[in-house]
Amino acid sequence: MLSSKTIDALVSDTESNPNHVADQQSEAMTPVPQDSRQGESEPRTKDLEGVSEGLLDKAEGIKVPTVAEDGAKSPAARNKRQKNVAVLTSGGDSAGMNAAVRAVVRQSIARGCQAYIIREGWEGLVRGNTSEPTPFTTPKRTPAASANQSPVLQPTKSVSFSSLPPSKQMELEKATHELNEQAEEDRDKVRVNFTDPSGVAPLSNAPLSFGFGELLKDGAGEGDVEEMQAHGLQSMVIADEEDEKGKSLKGRYIVRVGWDDVRGWLGEGGTLIGSSRCPSFRERSGRLQAAHNLIKYGIDCLAVCGGDGSLTGADKLRGEWPSLVEELLITGKIDEEQAETYRHLNIVGLVGSIDNDMSMTDLTIGAPTALHRICESIDSIASTASSHSRAFVIEVMGRHCGWLALLAGVAMGADFIFIPESPPETDDWETEMCNLLQSHRKVGKRKSIVIVAEGALDRNLKPIKPDYVKDILVDRLGLDTRVTTLGHTQRGGRPCAYDRILPTLQGVQAVQALLEATPETPSYMIGTQENKITRVPLLEAVAETQAVAKCIENRNFAEAMSHRDSEFREMLQAFQISSSLAVNEEAPKDKRLRIGIVHVGAPAGGMNAATRQAVRFCHNRGHTPVAIYNGFEGLLDDNVSELSWLRVDTWTTRGGSELGTNRTLPSVDLGSVAAGFQRHALDGLLVIGGFEAFHSLMILEQNRANYPSFQIPMVHLPATISNNVPMTDFSLGSDTSLNALVDACDAIRQSASASRNRVFVVETQGGMSGYLATMGALAVGAVLVYTPEDGISLKLLQEDVEFLTKRYSLDAKGKSEGRLVIKSEKSSSIYTTEVLTKIFKEEGKELFDARSASLGHTLQGGTPSPMDRTRAARLALRCMQFLEKHATPNSQSSHRSGSKHKKPAYSTETATMIAIRGSKIVYATMEEVLKHTDMKLRRGKDEWWSDIKRLAEIMGGRQGLVSS
């Protein structure tokens, strides 16, 4: 068998033949798809390495049979052929789309597939690739620059050797034949099991880049020539930007991409691959052309990120696919082998919409970031409104869905909102609004905020516009009123942490759904419920979404609300309770309670928002909110007072803890704590805080028999940036902290990337829980993450140094990427952040440098994120409803000596923690929580996010690259 060096020499000899070069450029060629491997597979043979590094570079187009071609031989082998997965974005853009595209691309490559992006949505798929490949010079390989650049993608054709001398033809054909036989043997040894989600192909088995990544990121696409010419702007049509190697995106809409082509996309807003309207796709002829382009490039797995219209089009394409393939075969555009190989199309939908208007999912990609933009704007507006005692009417997006307006109202403590699903109760909504705002002014409120969704209607379907609302406030209340329309500022900007994490998790699930799909399975939409990634039939979700608009059109608002998820309905209830001063919601006098509220542990974003909601609930129902300042120490010092409705008005936007908090447990003096409960006649207790808060409630519950004062209903609302409270998926403050981590890491990455070859070791807080480090690594695209759960060993460090060395050696010369390593503060007491940095710096030598950054308590402070504010309001409402249901008025009086009152019964069911578990919100007793708790390490035993550490390293390239 000829060696790779021999083959390289043969090809090198032919480079002097200009006819041969011309033949190569005239052929429509594709880079040879690399054989995919599982993580446990054998390394590529030396001869195959010669193919990837010799023949591909110097004799582009020598056709080595691939898994894809082998699978096309027979229907029985179809599932074994290499999959080609494409992703497109369509409809309105939204922050997080780039994270979704990145996830689909990288997960596809990690699973041994070829990855494609389709520019300009359905329009790009209909157009296909209309230009010839742009020639460019393949860079000479050096040890520091491996197979990064690959030839331009075109449909596969064999290269003719007719232009070569006869002797060279025979030698090269013989070498190719031997390599083909070797490829066949390798395929027989190892197959990619596409349905195994744990299987990871070595990253070295695929080209890292096809050269289009920077062009896409820089926005160097082509202008819409047809549209410009239609407006007589031919003179403005200029040549498309080319990179230094002559590559261009002109006429190229279906582009194969590699691992590095999507690097740096996590923090980019909008969609880098473009989105545009496509009237032609609505016609069968357009869909026929789209089908032809998919088959031409061997694509039978398609992920579509867009709204309900885009996803409806996707399912229509799949439904028509058999007839489209048949028509293409009859007209001779494809052959029988292609028709047989691509007789089925697998499609999955990812919902990208800032309005969060898709049913059967809690959140859509882009909605959290849009809410961030709105809250940031209103935060600024609120301060000037308060300064001048003004009213502001703010219009936000949302034609058929009021999610943005509703959650902004909850997060900002607005006075009144208008949403399409739930218009004002009365026809005379003007009076209803004025009465409410006037009642707020009477108790001393200086500012008034009214939020209007762009699709807001009254009960007679008459649009409610901001300017009209302004006129009402000016004419009837005499308020100095301004109107602000936030417009497209809501749509853009950097994605927040959750709009990086959610699209990544959904993109991974989308690839899994595509690889598992059969002709019998429906097209799925990837959604989320609470904290569970779900698959639901795409058409069912679209139909339910469209049903909302129909219900509103028919004035059936109750049914429209029924199509919204439970979170939407509970948020509306929370807003109505927190904004109302009406007395008609009060409980009967003999049912009114005194409810204590205490913060325990470290401060966390959302604590104050939860307290505000609890206080407003009490006033709405006639209960008395009793604030215990400075934790249980404050109770011992009798630092207790009642809170008024106005006192907590601005607390929703405040970080930290307005009540004050510390880590003191009630066990410091149980008798005095019990006496404090009696002295202030507490009928119920809301404990807001982290692990110490859970521990405190457990102590109180365990001592009920000894201290009757503790025999009142008590509930713990988890709030800690570490998210280490057992049994709940989320704690208040963890999202705020993640966003602070992302902001800091984005800034650090800029420094690292500007230096080209710098690794930053970023230390986070989190105690003995690696939640912040793990989720932060996924959100910022870190390549390594260290957590207390897994620890750090010398062997692990050696492997990680080898990974970094190999990864930097694969970077194109002068274009290395700055990389982040996230380390939880207590990952190791020996291998500290300083030690890790020194090790990386020493071992990096000429390849890379290393620096460190400790974020410290910056992760605890700042304005709470909208998600933490709204989650706090929702969970606090649930907690107060629990206490109201189980509490007995004047219960402390029954414990006093000589009291004639009957002693109330109590059970373990009345001391609980509210928890988000997967797709549900539940109440867990202290006994249940304790079973899932590691008291020594102060964290849960079954952390839901533990597998995400591996996913973060897969998406960073570490897992796939080092597997062999």
Tell me how many degrees the CA angle 417-423-426 measures, rounded to the nearest 5: 110
Whether 523 and 539 have beta carbons less than 8 Å apart is answered as: yes
Residue 814 labelled as part of a binding site: no
Residue 766 labelled as part of a binding site: yes
638 is known as an active-site residue: no
Residue 397 labelled as part of a binding site: yes
Residue 313 labelled as part of a binding site: no
Euclidean distance between CA atoms 705 and 686, whole angstroms? 20
- Please report where in the chains the tokens 């293409």 appear, as a residue: 328
Q: Residue 270: which region, alpha, beta or left (left: phi > 0; alpha: psi -120 to 50)?
A: left
Q: Name the active-site residue from 186, 260, 355, 362.
A: 355
Residue 66 labelled as part of a binding site: no
Residue 490 labelled as part of a binding site: yes
Whether 353 and 365 have beta carbons less than 8 Å apart is answered as: yes
- C-alpha separations of 713 from 86, 125, 710, 907 in Å: 54, 60, 8, 9
Euclidean distance between CA atoms 534 and 518, whole angstroms? 18
Residue 15, helix vs strand vs coil: coil
Residue 938 labelled as part of a binding site: yes
Residue 399 labelled as part of a binding site: yes
- Give the gyration radius of the chain's Cα atoms: 31
Euclidean distance between CA atoms 155 and 29, whole angstroms? 6
Residue 129 labelled as part of a binding site: no
Q: Give the Cβ contact number of residue 521 at 10 Å.
A: 12
Residue 630 labelled as part of a binding site: no
Residue 861 labelled as part of a binding site: no
Residue 92 labelled as part of a binding site: yes
Among 660, 556, 681, 652, which Cα is nearest to 600's? 660
Residue 309 labelled as part of a binding site: yes
Concatenating the DSSP letter of every residue in 729-790 gives S--BTHHHHHHHHHHHHHHHHHHHHHTSSEEEEEEE--TT--HHHHHHHHHHT-SEEE-TTT
Q: What's the full length of the chain, in residues?
A: 964
Residue 914 labelled as part of a binding site: no
Residue 679 labelled as part of a binding site: no
Residue 489 labelled as part of a binding site: yes
Whether 470 and 334 have beta carbons less than 8 Å apart is answered as: no
Q: Give the Cβ contact number of residue 492 at 10 Å.
A: 15
Residue 531 labelled as part of a binding site: no
- DSSP symbol at 720: -
Euclidean distance between CA atoms 381 and 448, whole angstroms? 11
Residue 825 labelled as part of a binding site: yes
Residue 308 labelled as part of a binding site: yes
Q: Give the Cβ contact number of residue 624 at 10 Å.
A: 18
Residue 654 labelled as part of a binding site: no
Please state the φ and ψ torsions of residue 145, each to the nearest 5 degrees: -140, 95
Residue 476 labelled as part of a binding site: no
Residue 355 labelled as part of a binding site: yes
Order of strands across the sheet with 849-854?
Answer: 784-786, 819-824, 758-764, 849-854
Residue 724 labelled as part of a binding site: yes
Euclidean distance between CA atoms 957 and 783, whole angstroms? 7
Residue 398 labelled as part of a binding site: yes
Hey, which residues are catalytic here? 355
Residues of each annotated binding site for Mg(2+):
308
Residues of each annotated binding site for ATP:
92, 277-278, 307-310
Residues of each annotated binding site for beta-D-fructose 2,6-bisphosphate:
663, 720-724, 758, 765-767, 825, 851, 938
Residues of each annotated binding site:
92, 277-278, 307-310, 353-355, 390, 397-399, 454, 482, 488-491, 663, 720-724, 758, 765-767, 825, 851, 938
Residues of each annotated binding site for substrate:
353-355, 390, 397-399, 454, 482, 488-491
